[in-house]
Amino acid sequence: MENYNQGKLFPETLSAEIRDKFYYMDEDYTGYKRIFFENAGGSLRLKKCLERYAEIEAIGDCPSRIHQVSMNLKEIMAQGQQDLRRIFGVSDKGSLVTCFTASQVMFEMTRAIAESVPGTNIVTTQLEHPSAFDSASQAARKLGKELRVVEPNQETGAADADAIAALIDENTSFLSVIYASNISGSILDMKEVVAKARAKKPDLFIICDAVQHAPHGLINAEELGLDAVNFAPYKFFGTRGFSVGWVSDRVSELDRFQRIIFKPNNDWSMGSTCPAQYGSVTELVNYVAWLGSHFTESKDRTDLFRAGMENIKLHERALLHHILEGTAEIPGLRHIDGITVHLDYKDLTTRDLILAIEIEGLEFKEAVKEFEKNGVIVFERVATSYFSKRVVEAFHLKGAVRVSPLHCHNISDVDAFLKIATKVAAEAKNK
Ligand X SMILES: Cc1ncc(COP(=O)(O)O)c(C=O)c1O
Determine the Cα–Cα distance for residues 78 and 245; give it in Å rounded to an integer. 16
209 lies in the binding site for ligand X (CB under 6 A): yes
Residues 376 and 401: beta-carbon distance below 8 Å: no
Stretch that binds ligand X, among 55-63, 169-177, 204-212, 394-402 (CB under 6 A): 204-212
Residue number, 233 or 326, with CB nearest to ligand X: 233
Which of 268-278 are b and which e, b meaning 16 or more Cβ less than 10 Å from the residue's Cβ?
beeeebbbbbb
CA distances from 426 to 241, 330, 335, 367, 415 (A): 41, 14, 13, 12, 17
Q: From 68-76, 101-109, 219-227, 346-354, give the range in contact with ligand X by CB under 6 A.
A: 101-109
Site for ligand X in 340-399 (CB under 6 A): none
CB 196 within 8 A of CB 165: yes
Interacting span for ligand X (CB under 6 A) from 12-20, 54-62, 208-216, 377-385: 208-216
Please pick, from the candidates 177, 232, 309, 319, the single residue that binds ligand X as defined by CB under 6 A: 232
For ligand X, which stretch binds (CB under 6 A), given 100-108, 158-166, 324-332, 356-364?
100-108
- Scan residues 234-253 and list those touching ligand X (CB under 6 A): 243
Q: Is 240 exposed, middle or buried (0-12, 13-18, 19+ CB in 10 A)?
A: middle
Radius of gyration of the chain (CA): 22
Q: Is 102 in the site for ligand X (CB under 6 A)?
A: yes
Q: Which stretch binds ligand X (CB under 6 A): 149-157, 188-196, 206-214, 276-284?
A: 206-214
Which helix (H) or strand (E) element contains residue 76?
A: helix 68-88
CB 342 within 8 Å of CB 395: yes
Judged by CB under 6 A, does residue 101 bind ligand X? Answer: yes
From the list 97-105, 216-224, 260-268, 391-399, the region that binds ligand X by CB under 6 A is 97-105
Rounded Cα–Cα distance for residues 105 and 348 (Å)? 30
Q: How far is the CB of 180 from ligand X (least distance, A)?
A: 8
Find out whether 35 and 377 touch, Cβ atoms under 8 Å.
Answer: yes
Q: How many residues bind ligand X (CB under 6 A)?
A: 12
Question: Among residues 81 and 103, whose Cβ is nearest to ligand X?
Answer: 103
Q: How far is the CB of 321 from ligand X (least distance, A)?
A: 24
Quote the least distance from Cβ 234 to ligand X, whole Å.
Answer: 7
Note whether 340 and 353 are within 8 A (CB).
Answer: no
Of residues 131 and 282, the one with the C-beta less far from ligand X: 131
By beta-carbon proximity to ligand X, the closer residue of 317 and 381 is 381
HEC string for 314-373: HHHHHHHHHHHHECCCCECHHHCCCEEEECCCCCHHHECCCEEEEECCCCHHHHHHHHHH
Residues 148-187 vs ligand X: string with x where CB under 6 A? ------------------------------x---x-----
Given the complex with ligand X, which of 209 and 316 has the nearer CB atom? Answer: 209
Which residue's CB is nearer to ligand X, number 10 or number 278? 278
Residue 176 has φ and ψ, to the nearest 5°, of -120, 120
How far apart, in whole angstroms, are the C-alpha atoms of residue 109 and residue 229?
Answer: 9
Among 52, 85, 111, 129, binds ligand X (CB under 6 A): 129
Asked if 99 is part of the footprint of ligand X (rule: CB under 6 A), the reply reads no
Binding site for ligand X (CB under 6 A): 101-103, 129, 131, 178, 182, 209, 211-212, 232, 243
